[in-house]
Amino acid sequence: MFKFCVLINWNIVWVTCFFFAQKSIVHAGINEGALSTVDYIRRDGYPLEIYSNITTEDGYLLDIHRIPHGKSQKKRRSQNPVLLVHGLFRSSQDWVFMGAERGLAYLLADRGYDVWLMNVRGSVYSKKHLTMNPDLDPKFWAFSWHEVGLYDLPTAFELIRNVTKRERFCYIGVSEGTTYLYVLTSLKPEYNRNITIAIDLGPIVHLIPTNNTLVKYGSVTEPLWTPLMRFFGLHEGSKIVRILQFLQNLLCTREGIFRILCDIGIFLATGGLNPAYLNKALIPVILEIGGSGSLLEVQHFAQNVNDADFRQFDFGREINLKKYGSVKPPSYNLTKVTSPHAIFYSDGDLIATTADAETLCARIPNCVYKHKIPSRNFSHFDFVLAENVLSLVYEKVFYLLDKYDDLSNK
């Protein structure tokens, strides 16, 4: 019984902290200033195209944003589009809300790139389906990053091809945004040909049991998640978000012990985020930007942490046998990921760890570049948030895009 209570407690702590991570960083009470992706791009004076209700094979409706060029209309000689893909519970906002000086979408557009911004199923702009209502139908949320990779990415590629007549793209993913592409190109290797280069910022693929206490112990409780989610009816992102919002307000808006608990949660959940690198002016904006997604995405990661393997969703023995023809779910075969990958990671990132990134690079056949950010202060969220992200990361991204983009056009 005691063990069970400890497990439940860890589970609650873990999920709560995860929420803090995605609601991100500091304290509630300053909720103003956040805009939608569309409003940011208009405010900042960049050209914008919106592709609404792009339909996936399994009926999800996606909104995809495009910044076709920078303010100056300068175009690159080769015009391979760049697709930017956000992480867990996030959206295309992550590439613009940092403003023109550090928003990667703007920086690329100003360098003459044709920039496409993904919004995966279940995220705030793509929370819709041909037949299922996300608020009423739990089945809407029955997906993990597996389905995003398998269905959403090809749909986005097809859209880009339809609009631009280009068949090869640069792919930049952050965090879970990297996972989707590994799913797709391992299961459908023909898509490797469509990727000129994939840039992985803090990739989450090869999950060696980490030293992040929360990830480690949170994952141990994974077998309890399915019954708990069923019992509480928590299949969808939004319901649990409401409950956690309550907890966040309780802890993070007060002083004393509450505030300390809140800080500890944030620190652990973000893998030790260093406030020194955070632009404080963005705090209210980051806070306001909510998020949405399926809890199964988190559960799928937890299963992978427990198994120390990158494999498909574990539905339990019976369904596995029916679905996969085996008791254990099959692993994704990383040998089939033949497109060139560039991997960025940091010792300060306790979620996508150095050990994981290096193992990943060694296991894929075409790891063309690997770069450890030379700062222990650089955490998982700093690939978007850090004040010095331009010099630490993006300058190298531009160099790589240039190099591989040109290669593909010789």
Ligand X SMILES: *[C@@H]1O[C@H](CO)[C@@H](O)[C@H](O)[C@H]1NC(C)=O
Catalytic position from the list 123, 380, 382, 405: 380
Part of the chain binding ligand X (CB under 6 A), chosen from 137-145, 161-169, 283-291, 319-327: 161-169
Among residues 7, 48, 61, 132, the one that binds ligand X under rule CB under 6 A:
61
- Give residues 274-293 in contact with ligand X (rule: CB under 6 A): 274, 276
Cα dihedral: 8, 14, 19, 21 (round 10): 170
Catalytic position from the list 123, 175, 346, 379: 175
Contact 186, 333 (CB under 8 A): yes
Two structure tokens written together for 396: 């190298």
- Give residues 248-277 in contact with ligand X (rule: CB under 6 A): 274, 276
Among residues 132, 159, 224, 390, the one that binds ligand X under rule CB under 6 A:
159
Active-site residue, 380 included: yes
- CA 111 to chain CA centroid, Å, is 24
Part of the chain binding ligand X (CB under 6 A), chosen from 112-120, 174-182, 292-300, 328-336: 328-336
Contact 235, 142 (CB under 8 A): yes
Among residues 16, 91, 92, 155, the one that binds ligand X under rule CB under 6 A:
155
Active-site residue, 326 included: no
- Give residues 356-385 in contact with ligand X (rule: CB under 6 A): 375, 377
What per-residue string of b and e applies to 76-85 under the rule 16 or more CB within 10 Å gives b?
bebbbbbbbb
x/- string (CB under 6 A) for ligand X, residues 286-325? ----------------------------------------
CA atoms within 13 A on the CB side of 110: 14
> Tokens 């141990």 identify what position?
220
x/- string (CB under 6 A) for ligand X, residues 194-223? x-------------x-xx------------
Catalytic position from the list 63, 314, 349, 356: 349
164 binds ligand X (CB under 6 A): no
- Return the DSSP state at 129: B
Nearer to ligand X, 31 or 52 (CB): 52
Q: Is residue 58 packed enough to be buried (19+ CB in 10 Å), middle (13-18) or exposed (0-12)?
A: middle
Part of the chain binding ligand X (CB under 6 A), chosen from 53-61, 250-258, 314-322, 398-406: 53-61
Sheet holding 49-55, edge to edge: 49-55, 61-67, 115-117, 82-85, 169-174, 195-201, 341-345, 367-372
Two structure tokens written together for 280: 């404080």
133 binds ligand X (CB under 6 A): no
Active-site residue, 27 included: no
Nearer to ligand X, 54 or 84 (CB): 54
Report how far residue 290's alpha carbon sits from residue 293's, in angstroms, rounded to the nearest whole number: 11
Part of the chain binding ligand X (CB under 6 A), chosen from 26-34, 153-161, 198-206, 318-326: 153-161
Q: What's the min distance (Å) between Cβ of 87 and ligand X?
A: 20
**What is the DSSP code string of 273-333?**
--GGGB-GGGHHHHHH-----BHHHHHHHHHHHHHTS-B-----HHHHHHHHSSSSPPBP-
Which residues does the annotation mark as catalytic? 175, 349, 380
Q: Which stretches of the chain bind ligand X, using CB under 6 A?
A: 52-54, 61, 128, 155, 157-159, 161-162, 167, 193-194, 208, 210-211, 274, 276, 333, 335-336, 353, 355, 375, 377
